[in-house]
Amino acid sequence: MSKNLSMRDALRSALHEEMLRDDRVFIMGEEVGRWNGTHKVTRGFFDEFGPERVRDTPISEMAIGGVAVGAAMAGLRPVAEMMTINFALLAFDAIINHAAKIHYMFNGQFTVPLVIRAATGWGNQATATHSHTPEPIWAHFPGLIVGCPSNAYDAKGMLKAAIRDDNPVLFTEVIALYPKPSQIPDDEYIIPIGKSDVKRQGDDVTLVAYGRGVEWALEAANILAKEDIQAEVIDVRWLRPLDMSAVLESFKKTNRCVIVEESLPMYSFGSEIAAQLQEAAFDYMDAPIKRVTAMDVPLPFAREIELMALPNASKVVKAVKEVL
Amino acid sequence: MATKTESLTKETLLDWYRELVLVRKFEDQCHHQYFEEKDPARKITGVYLHLASGSEATHVGAVKALGKDDHVITAYRDHGIAIARGTDPKRVMAEMFGKRTGTSGGKGGSMHLADRSVNFWGGYAIVGGHIPLGVGIALKEKYTKTKNAVLCFIGDGALNNGYFHEAANMAQIWRLPIVFLVENNFVGMGTRIEESSGQTQPTKRAIGYGMKEGPSIDGQNILEVYNTVKAELDWARENGPVLMEAKTYRFEGHGVSDKLYDSRDDLKAELSVWEKRDPINVLRAHLESSFKNLDKDLAKIDAETTQAVQEALDFAIASPAPDYNDLISHVYVGM
């Protein structure tokens, strides 16, 4: 049995199950309680679980991050919501210098079983400070796990894995994907950390993506299929730890690769995948590895030029044709 | 002083005296191994070493006020706090040398001591960064309905960091059991409190959060520190956070990079005033005025602490360095 749920409700269902399963799991963040969550992922939780387990915080990202780290070290399992990844930049130190370093720096004496949830990606004309998709910068640092689901089904299984893991996890949720549905099984399932997924099979080109990039890659693959070009689409799901096994296997078959991401081009997800591919599979490369990313500009307000700066399926199609 | 004082036995006071002397000798030994030692195998290396000499009564007195299940967290001037909380000085010294037997396996160094087994949650070196961590530990205690409390040391300089503001406010709205103890030595690195703070009386900042403005005490007097911190911890267990202050001094400057004292006559003069209020002498004077015939006890303490520091040094030097497996272990749990 299964239900058709939006990614928002799939995430809500994951949180709900984990809250019921483990008393140590609690939620803290801006507007998570009485407001029912800015993105409504925690809708109804305040009434059901009460103010101790669903904690509205002041607008204090440094403290949301740092207090959650301390609570996690002490034995709770906080799920801290940052409202958006843009605001999580204020908590960069708490997450990078503390959450990601404490287990190592004190030689394993403490663990930080913490999940930081944050909405990511461009919103409709949200402008430069509210449109970041910066997963790759966070994934730069050892000690942190970074995941970003591309659909409702993955979102539920990945969030449950994140909550149960003993490491700190930055879990980003693409705003544009919140309303999009998948069939969600009634039975519990977990999608393990560090496991990528082949979303579509094909022999002609490998498309590597995460988050919203997977949607554009799949859309492009459907367009290309009409011209008898078969793209294989790989969703890495987790930027760290990064599972390159399916990517490598696919590249050895297709010998061509286009990387699709909503984030920026410099020092990026695409840079990392391309570098790893040429190191591990240089002899299999038949064409330059291409990247389709957001343009290297801050995102503007005006709709026409905002969309111009972002990736889309036709940009992916164009890039694929350049490498065939 | 309004706080209730408990009657302390001669044994307790001698025990504290031993700890003050032990920490001082430990710090003096670190200083020697860093600056004077010529043999590379016996030298403390690196760029950071922040000695606690002069602040021992604040560190030891406050830590002694904790119950076994209470918690302590601090910034980077952490050697004395570790030793006072019961961590073996051998393991503390080994961490100074980056040895595998150190409290953090040689991966943390002087600024990142910790001992989970005694609820010492660490020294932290991003100024202010540990304050919300302490609040998070207090949140865990309230969440699980215990009566345990957290002692969070804060340097006066860290009060101007955004972490303090956000964490103090959150602790107050959630009424968490934590004592913020401002270790006020009137300077953050080289910038004086009056140059860095609009409000130079640290406890007054509590008012802005609706928090209890705790007492401002003489941090050179271990009895005053112990009695006051104990009372404030008990208040915090029942009612929520407190912001209090202990006035103290650091005899060795900010850290090994501090050269200000070499050239500044005003600082040298200030230091000599504070040296007259050496916390060891303050307690010794109290002991001598309260008890007779201490010579034997004090001589024994002198000999024992010298031996303990020597043993710590020998242990550290003889210990192995971490290896490749240590380098790559504990990046993640279970990976």
- d(C-alpha B80, C-alpha B66), whole Å: 15
- d(C-alpha B10, C-alpha B288), whole Å: 11
Rg (CA), chain B: 19
Q: Please report which confidence band the pLDDT of residue B5 belongs to, taking 50, 70 and 90 as the band edges.
A: low
Q: Give the residue among A217, A209, A135, A127 at the shortest CA–CA distance from A172.
A: A135
- Count CB neighbours of A223 within 10 A: 15
Counting every residue, how long is chain B?
335
Mean pLDDT of B28-54: 95
| Residue B320, C-beta contacts closer than 8 angstroms, at least 6 positions apart | B99, B100, B101
- d(C-alpha A309, C-alpha A300), whole Å: 9
pLDDT tens column, A16-60:
999 999 999 999 999 999 999 999 999 999 999 999 999 999 999
Pairing relationship of beta strands A2-6 and A181-185 according to DSSP bridges = antiparallel
In chain A, the residue whose alpha carbon lies closest to the alpha carbon of B122 is A106
- d(C-alpha A179, C-alpha A39), whole Å: 10
- d(C-alpha A91, C-alpha B132), whole Å: 11
- Count CB neighbours of B146 within 10 A: 13
**Beta carbon pairs, A and B, within 8 Å:** 142
pLDDT tens column, A77-89:
999 999 999 999 9
pLDDT number for residue B256: 87
Catalytic residue among A130, A140, A219, A249: A130
- d(C-alpha B185, C-alpha B219), whole Å: 9
- Count CB neighbours of A246 within 10 A: 18
**Residue A73, Cβ density class (10 Å: 0-12 exposed, 13-18 middle, ≥19 buried):** buried
Decide if A130 is catalytic. Answer: yes
CB A238 within 8 A of CB A147: yes
Cα maximum dimension of chain B: 60
What are the phi and psi torsion angles at B69 (to 5°)? Answer: -95, 5
Q: Which helix (H) or strand (E) holds B17?
A: helix B10-31
B105 contact residues in A (CB cutoff 8 A): 107-108
CA distances from B19 to B45, B63, B140, B296, B303 (A): 26, 11, 31, 17, 13
Q: Please report which confidence band the pLDDT of residue B6 belongs to, taking 50, 70 and 90 as the band edges.
A: low
Cα maximum dimension of chain A: 59
Across chain A, what does the average pLDDT equal? 97
Q: Encoding tokens for residue A313?
A: 């399926």
Q: Which helix (H) or strand (E) holds B311?
A: helix B295-318
Q: Please report which confidence band the pLDDT of residue B335 belongs to, taking 50, 70 and 90 as the band edges.
A: confident
- d(C-alpha A28, C-alpha A64), whole Å: 7
Pairing relationship of beta strands B71-74 and B120-123 according to DSSP bridges = parallel
| Domains of chain B, each with CATH number or no CATH | 10-319 (3.40.50.970)
Residue among A68, A97, A241 minimizing CB distance to B335: A241
| Domains of chain A, each with CATH number or no CATH | 2-185 (3.40.50.970), 197-323 (3.40.50.920)
Q: Encoding tokens for residue A194?
A: 């560090």
- What DSSP letter does each residue of A216-258 carry, written as one string? HHHHHHHHHHTTT--EEEEE--EEES---HHHHHHHHHH--EE
Q: Give the residue among A302, A319, A155, A169 at the shortest CA–CA distance from A237.
A: A155
pLDDT number for residue B257: 86
> Is the pLDDT score of B3 beyond 60?
no
Please judge whether A103 and B333 are an interchain contact, meaning their C-beta atoms are less than 8 angstroms apart: yes
Region at B28 (left for phi over 0; alpha for psi -120 to 50; beta for the rest): alpha
> Which residues of A lie closer than 8 Å to B, measured between beta carbons?
26, 52, 55, 57-58, 60-63, 65-76, 78, 93-94, 97-98, 102-111, 142-143, 145, 165-167, 241
> Is the pLDDT score of B1 beyond 80?
no
pLDDT tens column, B65-94:
999 999 999 999 999 999 999 999 999 999
pLDDT tens column, A292-311:
999 999 999 999 999 999 99
In chain A, the residue whose alpha carbon lies closest to the alpha carbon of B328 is A104
- What DSSP letter does each residue of B224-271 carry, written as one string? HHHHHHHHHHHHHHHH--EEEEEE---TT-SSTT--HHHH-HHHHHHH
Please judge whether B162 and A104 are an interchain contact, meaning their C-beta atoms are less than 8 angstroms apart: no
Catalytic residue among A18, A61, A232, A272: A61
Q: Write the secondary structure of B20-43 as one string of H (helix), E (strand) and C (coil).
A: HHHHHHHHHHHHHHHHHCCCHHHC
Please judge whether B116 and A93 are an interchain contact, meaning their C-beta atoms are less than 8 angstroms apart: no
CB A209 within 8 A of CB A233: yes
pLDDT tens column, B217-254:
999 999 999 999 999 999 999 999 999 999 999 999 99
Q: Give the residue among A258, A283, A145 at the shortest CA–CA distance from A206.
A: A258
| Residue A145, C-beta contacts closer than 8 angstroms, at least 6 positions apart | A162, A165, A167, A168, A169, A170, A193, A194, A238, A240, A241, B332
In chain A, the residue whose alpha carbon lies closest to the alpha carbon of B119 is A74
Region at B31 (left for phi over 0; alpha for psi -120 to 50; beta for the rest): alpha
> Is the pLDDT score of B4 beyond 60?
no
CB A145 within 8 A of CB A239: no
Q: Please report which confidence band the pLDDT of residue B2 belongs to, taking 50, 70 and 90 as the band edges.
A: very low
The sign of the dihedral angle between the CA atoms of A258, A262, A265, A271 is negative
- d(C-alpha B145, C-alpha B139), whole Å: 10
Please judge whether B126 and A93 are an interchain contact, meaning their C-beta atoms are less than 8 angstroms apart: yes
> Helices marked H in B66-197 — which ranges?
79-85, 89-96, 130-143, 162-173, 193-196
> Helices marked H in chain A — which ranges?
7-21, 45-49, 61-73, 85-88, 92, 102-105, 135-139, 152-164, 212-225, 245-254, 269-281, 303-309, 313-323
Please judge whether A107 and B108 are an interchain contact, meaning their C-beta atoms are less than 8 angstroms apart: yes
Please judge whether A67 and B121 are an interchain contact, meaning their C-beta atoms are less than 8 angstroms apart: no
In chain A, the residue whose alpha carbon lies closest to the alpha carbon of B130 is A66
| High-pLDDT (> 90) share of chain B, % | 94
Tell me: cis bond preceding A241? Omega within 30 of 0 counts. Answer: yes
Please judge whether B135 and A67 are an interchain contact, meaning their C-beta atoms are less than 8 angstroms apart: yes
The ipTM is 0.96
- d(C-alpha A78, C-alpha A116), whole Å: 8
pLDDT number for residue A296: 97
Decide if A132 is catalytic. Answer: no
Q: How far is B332 from chain A (nearest CA, A)?
A: 6
| High-pLDDT (> 90) share of chain A, % | 98
Partners of A290 in the β-ladder: A258
Mean pLDDT of A88-96: 98
> Helices marked H in A165-229 — which ranges?
212-225
A58 contact residues in B (CB cutoff 8 A): 166, 169-170, 173
> Is the pLDDT score of A197 beyond 50?
yes
